[in-house]
Structure 1
Amino acid sequence: MKISGARTETFSAIRRRALADAAGVSAAPRGTVTVDKAGFLGLEPADLTPKVQAALQTLMSEVEDLRTEVSRLKYRLNEAETLADMDVLAPVLNRRAFLREVRRVSAFAQRYGSPASLVFFDLDNFKAVNDRFGHAAGDSALKAVAERLLANVRESDIVGRMGGDEFAVLLTQADRATAEMKGESLAGAIRGVPVQFGEWSAPLHVSFGVREIEAGAEPETSLAEAGAAMLVKKRARLAAG
């Protein structure tokens, strides 16, 4: 294709260049070739013969379609990343995503000197629920625990399921004493309302342990220490009858 103004360039070359830089093209009504778009392609307005105008209209339509497709793919990618962070059963973070948040909050706490703590929960006698009423009833109980934890924490706090019948809550701006009180409150919220599944109804009981996050501690280490604190409490309570 020969274009006036001593510029010779094939339309396919222009098309490749435009599509490669599609993300930088400003939006305009489809089928409209503007001076800005002509300049983007390295052309002067006087170069736009009727034939070139028609070719550019087709080109810019393809560019707009490409931009729409890129936006759609970005949305689907964000959606997939969100789903990858969620537990497969309960509406809370999975272990991997939760530990990532622990690392983030730990870094913030270390930098600004603000406390943060972990509360580790374990359902008591959960195996008996599964054995007596079936796994569907057990799943219902796990969902109920997750929902009660979410309903009783702040927006800045983070709830995750660590696997099986274990949950954890990451409390921001909370030292150990504050976390102990919050743990008692959350345990009470879980015990407060029996879980129902069909004709089955039973209260849930949990044990919990607390660990204040120390500067520089690995997330897995902090979580394990909170879990160990939970086991100490559970054994002491069971021993006391």
Structure 2
Amino acid sequence: MPDPMTVASGISAAGALVSAWQLRRRALRAEAEIELLQAELEAERHAASHDPLTGLPNRRAFFRMAAALLTDAAGKPLVAVVLDLDGFKQVNDRYGHAAGDQVLISVAQRLTAFAGDNLVARLGGDEFAGLLRGPTMDRRWIEQATRRLCEALADPIPLGARTVRVTASVGLAPVHGPTQLTDALCRADAAMYQAKSVGASRVPRQLMAEC
């Protein structure tokens, strides 16, 4: 007959293995739940700070991120850019809101490509903004940058079997210090409306108009 002590020892060892296995399963389940909660939290944070259509930072995130960039700029020239699309409502009216959404996505992609690793955002509707590092803040560089951005945005945008061409009015203005972002955006906005008044995708004579 089996030794009762041996049997008891075997049962005890088997019980210990089962308990260890159950603890391991619980630990893995807890880790998975924590990872899921962290992913959900990160998704909520991203959704709160980014535009759901284009994936760009939204208005609130833009100002927060721009303030951090200006604080850490270390004397590098920074230029604020503001743009909106000319006649965007006509795209929605003629082709539908799905087409309008695709235009906004394409504009966001082109603005991002133009800006490189610089900050760009969708402020709302068809209005976008950015904070660009420039080699200089002189008028010639600003005029050239404005023209190149207008040309990039004016390229035809494919919409299924057809294409549309949407121009943009653009304004740029240098940022003179960490506390001057609002003023620079105001001047860039004034330059954008001046460009709109003289014709779509044209560079205004006074690129740094005062508010």
| TM band (smaller chain) | 0.7 to 0.9
1:31-180 alignment, distance < 5 Å: 57=20, 58-59=22-23, 61-109=25-73, 112-154=74-116, 156-177=117-138, 178-180=141-143
| Cα distance in 1 for residues equivalent to 2:29 and 2:96 | 51
Q: Which of 168, 171, 174 is 1:209 aligned to?
A: 171
- Structure 2 residues not aligned, in runs of 5+: 1-11, 205-211
> Kindly tell me: are residues 50 and 202 of structure 1, through their superposed partners in 2, closer, same or farther at Cα, counting changes over 3 Å?
closer
| Cα distance in 2 for residues equivalent to 1:121 and 1:190 | 10
Runs of 4+ in 1 over 6 A off after TM superposition: 49-52
Highest Rg: 1 or 2? Answer: 1
Query: Which deviates more, 145-154 or 57-66?
Result: 57-66
Query: Which deviates more, 175-184 or 74-83?
Result: 175-184
Whether the 8 Å CA contact 1:118–1:179 is kept in 2: the answer is no
| Cα distance in 1 for residues equivalent to 2:17 and 2:52 | 52
| Cα distance in 2 for residues equivalent to 1:172 and 1:56 | 60
| Cα distance in 2 for residues equivalent to 1:128 and 1:85 | 29
1:116-158 Cα offsets, whole Å, 9 max, x none, are 111111111222222333322222221221121122332x212
| Cα distance in 2 for residues equivalent to 1:59 and 1:179 | 64
Instruction: State the match for 1:7 in structure 2.
Output: none
| Cα distance in 2 for residues equivalent to 1:162 and 1:96 | 8
State the number of aligned residues.
Answer: 187
Instruction: State the match for 2:196 in structure 1.
Output: 234
| Cα distance in 1 for residues equivalent to 2:182 and 2:55 | 22
Q: Kindly, what percent of the aligned residue pairs are identical?
A: 33
Whether the 8 Å CA contact 1:175–1:212 is kept in 2: the answer is no
| Cα distance in 2 for residues equivalent to 1:74 and 1:216 | 33
User: What amino acid is the match of 1:72?
Assistant: L
> Kindly tell me: are residues 56 and 182 of structure 1, through their superposed partners in 2, closer, same or farther at Cα, counting changes over 3 Å?
farther
Q: CA deviation at 1:173?
A: 4.7
Q: CA deviation at 1:54?
A: 6.3
- With normalisation by structure 1, the TM-score equals 0.65
User: What amino acid is the match of 1:148?
Assistant: R
Aligned residue for 2:81, secondary structure, equals: strand
Aligned residue for 1:159, secondary structure, equals: strand
> Kindly tell me: are residues 217 and 69 of structure 1, through their superposed partners in 2, closer, same or farther at Cα, counting changes over 3 Å?
same
Please, what is the CA RMSD of the aligned residues?
Answer: 2.9
> Kindly tell me: are residues 226 and 56 of structure 1, through their superposed partners in 2, closer, same or farther at Cα, counting changes over 3 Å?
farther
- With normalisation by structure 2, the TM-score equals 0.73
Q: CA deviation at 1:63?
A: 3.5
> Kindly tell me: are residues 52 and 137 of structure 1, through their superposed partners in 2, closer, same or farther at Cα, counting changes over 3 Å?
closer
| Cα distance in 1 for residues equivalent to 2:173 and 2:50 | 24
User: What amino acid is the match of 2:151?
Assistant: G
Higher relative contact order (CA 8 A, sep 6+): 2
Aligned residue for 2:83, secondary structure, equals: strand
Q: CA deviation at 1:230?
A: 1.0
